[in-house]
Amino acid sequence: MQLEIAIVQFKPTLFDIKGNLQKAINIIHEIITSSNPKVILFPELFLSGYTFKDRKELDAVSFPISIQDGKNESLAPLIDISKKMSIGISGGYSEKDGDLFYNSSFFIGDGQIIANYRKTHLFHDENDYFQPGDTGFQVFEYNNVKFGMMICFDWIFPESARTLALMGSEVILHPANLVLPFCQRAMYARAIENRVFIATANRVGKEVNGKYENSFTGGSQIVSPRGEYILTMNEDGEYFSSVKIDPTEADDKNITEKSNLFKARREEFYR
Amino acid sequence: MQLEIAIVQFKPTLFDIKGNLQKAINIIHEIITSSNPKVILFPELFLSGYTFKDRKELDAVSFPISIQDGKNESLAPLIDISKKMSIGISGGYSEKDGDLFYNSSFFIGDGQIIANYRKTHLFHDENDYFQPGDTGFQVFEYNNVKFGMMICFDWIFPESARTLALMGSEVILHPANLVLPFCQRAMYARAIENRVFIATANRVGKEVNGKYENSFTGGSQIVSPRGEYILTMNEDGEYFSSVKIDPTEADDKNITEKSNLFKARREEFYR
């Protein structure tokens, strides 16, 4: 089976949720003009930007989501194009739930909100205004492919990708706003140890908000279950690109015919 | 605090346990002539070689060990030099326990057998003649440094190094007979995600025994908690080399001042 998956390396304008959404729509039109991906992945918080001073600033760019009714005013243009083109669109946003905010990612498939994940492991200043995610890791099916979601800093905890893989993920969607230099190189291990595809859509650019400042490391990539970097982007610059993968490659956990990475686990000895 | 640690990239002669032991002793003498390491690490099964046809062959090069009395005829020359030089010596051997065999590693410190670990995750053909280890991962103290042990294929299970790190390991001793090409590169992630030192002593050469054949990948290395490859060896050739590290660097699990990799774990969401 074949899945064409696109990742977008993106630089949002801080606070400009409408402008960023329009830019994303324009990029999707460009992508589907030049290629035929079934899934398009944007970075973490690609609609709002990342560098907030406080919860008040965050409030202005946050919105609630409902999987139940599958509708969402803020995401309506993405839902529309997803329905019209029969594609999946995923990316990160700031989710508002009552008075609380989560660093979340959505998956919209064929016009429906199929999944919503709240980031489990918050990074650094995010702890000051986001709540730690309470959804846990989730796996969902779209187009007969099992997808899992993790967000940015979740990567450094081996338990994140491990949990998603044990739950059956064939392709892990990993929107990111990486500022540390480690992840891109380390995902080699994540892909091999779990024998899954991992797509990391990272943002680029420098973002300044008063005394707060972040520089993002780009290098968006897709790594195969054999540790091949089948798609890589530069550290700087906005790009989109797609690649065809066979997600069922991730179903074979045998690293040799006598060594199955999942059956050989010995949970009784793990902390 | 400072620890000088040496790793030995070694090619044993299959079945020649006495010859391999003498060669190891000669290497130790060479090492302590040219440097001053407190711990010297040899590869997995460095006394016997690796490529066995059956349990009968294995039996001829296996021996029991006892931590209680701290004595061992087979390891006596290593115990003696460890005592004489006040050093620690670690490496892999085939352990006999009644009718059963384990792929084990010992740690001898200042003339005493301080630790013995039985490989948790057997690789490929090892399943045909070794028992899966029943000791679990262990951490022990020597020279005020907390050491953990894992053996070769244990590396690919993120739970191995994770468990050792959560148990307090500052330095993971990783004797190996690697035949797959993944480990050396992937240990970058292991070191960073756990913020520990990992010393991998791998063997080299090609070993043929009837229809069985293995080629080993060398590339012995030590990686720091920041993912720096502070010691690396070639894919081929026998070498020894040592490096000075500060094991207490591994006690700081803060990757930023607000993000502690161990405190931020959320076990309730892990499988």
Q: What's the gap in Å between the CA of A194 and the closest CA on chain B? A: 9
CB contact under 8 A, B266 and A227: no
* Residues of A known to be catalytic: 44, 119, 152
Q: Which helix (H) or strand (E) holds B11?
A: none
Which segments of A167-250 does DSSP mark as H helices, in order? 183-194
Q: For the residues B34-60, what does the mean pLDDT come to?
A: 97
Domains identified in chain A and CATH numbers: 3-269 (3.60.110.10)
Q: What percent of chain A has pLDDT over 70?
A: 99
Q: Is the pLDDT of residue A120 over 80?
A: yes
Give the per-residue pLDDT at A1: 87
B178-208: per-residue pLDDT in tens?
999 999 999 999 999 999 999 999 999 999 9
Q: Which of A121, A193, A270 sits opposite B264 (nearest CB)?
A: A121
For the stretch A68-116, pLDDT in tens is 666 678 899 999 999 999 999 999 999 999 999 999 999 999 999 999 9
Statement: residue A67 has pLDDT above 80: no
H or E stretch covering B151? none
Residue partners of B257: CB distance under 8 A and separation at least 6: none
User: How far are the Cα atoms of A19, A165, B92, B99, B114 from residue B66, in angstroms, in the given order?
Assistant: 70, 40, 15, 16, 10
Radius of gyration of chain A (CA): 18
Known active-site residue B56: no
Tell me how close the Cα of A245 comes to any Cα of chain B, in angstroms: 21
Within 10 angstroms of residue A94's Cβ, the number of other Cβ atoms is: 24
pLDDT in tens, A237-261: 999 999 999 999 999 999 999 999 9
- Is the ipTM beyond the 0.85 threshold? yes
Distant-in-sequence, close-in-space partners of A150: CB < 8 Å, separation ≥ 6: A117, A119, A120, A137, A160, A161, A164, A172, A173, A174
pLDDT > 70? residue B31 = yes
Q: Where are the beta strands (DSSP E) in A181-238?
A: 197-202, 204-209, 212-217, 221-223, 229-232
Which band of pLDDT confidence, cut at 50, 70 and 90, is reported for residue B67? confident
Calculate mean pLDDT across residues B148-159.
Answer: 98
Q: Tell me what the pLDDT averaged over chain B comes to.
A: 96
- Listing DSSP states for A36-94 in one string gives --SEEE--TTTTT-S--SSHHHHHTT-B---TTT---TTTHHHHHHHHHHT-EEEEEEE
Average pLDDT rounded to a whole number, residues B22-42: 97
Q: With contact defined as beta carbons under 8 Å apart, do A103 and A125 qualify?
A: no
- Percent of chain B whose predicted confidence (pLDDT) is above 90: 96
Helix B183-194 crosses helix A183-194 at what angle (to 10 degrees)? Answer: 110
Given this model, what pLDDT does residue A240 score? 98
Contacts of B185 in chain A (CB under 8 A): 188-189, 227
Measure the CA–CA gap between A202 and A189, rounded to whole angstroms.
18
Known catalytic membership, residue B207: no
> Is B95 marked active-site?
no
Mean pLDDT of B209-238: 97
The pLDDT of residue A98: 95
- Confidence class for position B72, pLDDT limits 50, 70, 90: confident
The answer to whether residue B69 scores a pLDDT higher than 70 is no
What is the token pair recorded at A37? Answer: 């991906």
Give the pLDDT mean for A147-167.
98
Give yes or no for a contact between A162 and A148, defined as CB atoms under 8 angstroms apart.
no
Chain B: residues touching A (Cβ < 8 Å): 120-125, 127, 132, 136-137, 153, 156-159, 162-163, 166-167, 180, 182, 185-190, 192-193, 227, 255-256, 258-259, 261, 264-271
